[in-house]
A and B are shown apart, each in its own frame.
Chain A
């Protein structure tokens, strides 16, 4: 009876039930490593879930799940208990085969909605009314949190307790410091995510309010046009690229342009600058100024430990410098024409306003865009502080633990540390602390290497296994503002997923129209930063995630295509500024387009066409 019922549900919805998914054979132990509350259970069959490929496009190794954990803890708290969003609570998450599925918790009882609405007015409206003050305060809090993280020492174990500690009567021995640093590291990361969501849904909500108005008043307005009306011009996220331009200009001013050749090795460049005396050293000083904090920007969205930052790997900014130098020498302006861009934005807003039917509508439009402009600096700015700056500090601190444990034989590679959950890592640290105190060898070296090996193999297997885009019964209406806002999931997009198989062999790949214009060129499927040197002038960048790190290479390319991202993604914004066609959120471009193929990118329609076989 029960089985029949599930079959009916499946037939109606088209998505498989969670219970019908099986763990890839041979990876059962790796799957079991994730905490029990992340594992699918029978009751989960009753609910709708979707694969969060936007934030977690690759299988999650055990440690990186801390990001899902901390983020959903904070997101839910903000929605459910802090601002009391009337119709939605938090987001539940599960993991199978390394893939993170999430599901909203809608509020449907009208009485509860009414009660929550009343609370929402007291709480969220207070935030809207005091936005600027609270956001200034937020930046202070965030900087303080970053300073705290920076102040944490490198975890280390001396052979003996330093004499001065003994003579100072300190009483607590150095091994305890490891636990303290680790717990503070973890604690800081969880706190950072609370700050991340302190304003986020309210900010998106205000933006969506204006967006929704525009879509009703102008049914065919492209998303990117609404985005252009709201986007700011001086968000922190533009700074890293601006700094690279500044460094290129300094290089020309100091007569160093010869040192920056295309495809030169970073270490060689740094060494030759160091050796050449004052001008080279002057430039290196400038580099340090730019790096802290602006090169704390990582090559992904900050959700994977291996999305390293520019500071960890200077090859991205360095790859951009020769191109910028050439432009400076050709007399081109590199600096973003802020004033002109602001004037264009103003004109755009005025022109659409003029098309409205009545003065009444114009007055409502004015009110909505005013609020959208007030909240947007946060929406654009928070990412640099949270997903980039703080996240880099966090993963690098964990790396220090990886190095320490590695030195004591736990791992053969520092990066192995990320194959442990954060609970397991604490165990390993306590193991090491114990061993230091007992004087016996730690147990870890004979325990972890086999597990690390097994988990690495599981991740590799999962990466090549297809996973359904959604699970469980499809709701009639997606009425969860959080899901609509953050993931752009609507009833229509689900229908598209259900029929996605039908169009798999077409030469067209659909995505979001992110920046208009049409370009044809050679596709460069770039999967990591190491590959950016392969991009030649006029190539079309095809990548998985688009993010601000890639900005400096936009000078070289003729168009951009990504698997993930929406019309407000940073690549979309940068592409619009460079006037390059861009299609983002295609889902499958890096899989379907082969490196070297000729493709056409139509950024106005959101279509990429494969031209050559």
Chain B
């Protein structure tokens, strides 16, 4: 099925389209094009959001209401947030937008569950990463529910934290837009994150993997202490295996959405990843890093059949931003390097 004015399939978009599809969708498109296994899906472009906001602006002010807020005025922000969230959530969808979303959703998976994830244009930008401030809805079932959650994502742009963040950083409201990813849900046996450098030392020769049972929301949300592995990026040597007590897991709820279940005793302290899976994750991590040319922070899931799927990849920002002195410079007489050992106090 082809992409249209308001929706774009992952294969048709990339990072360069970030302004119209948001950071998350741009990255998922980029990964899809790089032949990385990503759960299939499409993005509802920012254009759809603009249509809706324009329609709302015609009824009553939206952007100017936010821009008038003071970053420290929590009471004011809360009031505006409540108003705008309600308005966005209840706004009728333009007919073309609704038709295109429903068409794409049907083509994607029929009645199978999807994840509806916000993809803001400011999110994942290298200088102003505020990933996670917008909402993600898991295990959404049925066309009506999809439309509802697309609007909920838009509305999340007007949550108290989002507004406060934009006011604090002085981000202009007309530069803010929200695209929404609709993506086939992974029925994850295990999920987690991986960094293609060490979060502890910045070492680029290791990959750190953290994972837990079930859907990744428990790891990202910090509700469970994940198993932690450190793998040599090049050698595949597993130098750290911290197997934690994973007392709960997030599983799909019958009526849609996610519920928290306790993990039975036998499984709690078992490693949630096999060595083979760790090696496959390492391979994928290396490929993504090579594709982007820099260390990445990646979310992944392993489905019930054992297939690894990538849910998100963004550049690592903490260590990359640090200035580092070169470990050593070449010397005219290479023999002089040995003085680092023989020359005294190091």
Binding site for B on A (CB under 8 A): 85-87, 113, 117, 120, 124-125, 128-129, 202, 205-206, 208-209, 212-213, 216-222, 224-225, 348, 351-352, 355, 357-358, 360-361, 363-368, 370-371, 477, 479, 481, 485, 513, 516, 518, 602, 604-605
Contacts and interface: CB of A to CB of B under 8 A. Distances in A.
Determine the interface band of chain B, counting residues with CB < 8 A from chain A.
Answer: 35 or more
A206 B324 CA distance: 25
Contacts of B235: 222, 225, 348, 516
B114 to A, nearest CB: 38
Contacts of B326: 357-358, 360-361, 364
B337 A220 contact: no
Contacts of A205: 338, 341-342
A351 B234 contact: yes
A218 B340 contact: no
Interface string B325-346: 0111111001101111111111
B237 interface: yes
Given A86-B344, A220-B205, A364 B328 contact: yes
Contact of A357 (B201, B275, B324, B343): B324
A219 B200 CA distance: 10
Contacts, number: 130
Nearest to B333: A125
A205 B344 CA distance: 12
Interface in B231-250: 232-235, 237-241
Nearest to B328: A364
A208 B327 contact: no
B327 A213 contact: yes
A129 B335 contact: yes
Chain A binding site: helix, strand, loop or mixed by DSSP?
A: helix
Nearest to B202: A219
Per CB-CB distance, the 7 closest pairs between chain A and chain B, nearest first, are: A363-B330, A367-B334, A219-B201, A364-B328, A516-B237, A218-B205, A351-B234
Contacts of A365: 328
A114 to B, nearest CB: 10
A124 B337 CA distance: 13
18 contacts: A124-B342, A128-B335, A206-B338, A218-B206, A219-B203, A220-B203, A222-B239, A357-B326, A361-B326, A363-B329, A367-B334, A371-B334, A371-B337, A371-B338, A479-B344, A481-B341, A516-B238, A604-B239
A357 B325 CA distance: 10
A605 B240 contact: yes
Nearest to B205: A218
Contacts of A518: 275
B240 to A, nearest CB: 7
Interface in B168-213: 198, 200-206
A209 B339 CA distance: 8
Given A128-B335, A222-B237, A367-B334, A479 B346 contact: yes
A447 to B, nearest CB: 50
A70 B170 CA distance: 76
B342 A367 contact: no
A355 B204 contact: yes
Contact of A85 (B240, B331, B335, B342): B342
B205 A221 contact: yes
B153 interface: no
A360 B198 contact: no
Contacts of A85: 342
Interface string B236-272: 0111110000000000000000000000000000000
B230 interface: yes
Contacts of B206: 218, 220-221
Contacts of A113: 344
A296 to B, nearest CB: 33
Given A113-B344, A219-B202, 12 more contacts: A125-B335, A205-B338, A218-B203, A218-B205, A225-B235, A351-B234, A352-B205, A361-B328, A364-B328, A367-B337, A485-B341, A602-B241
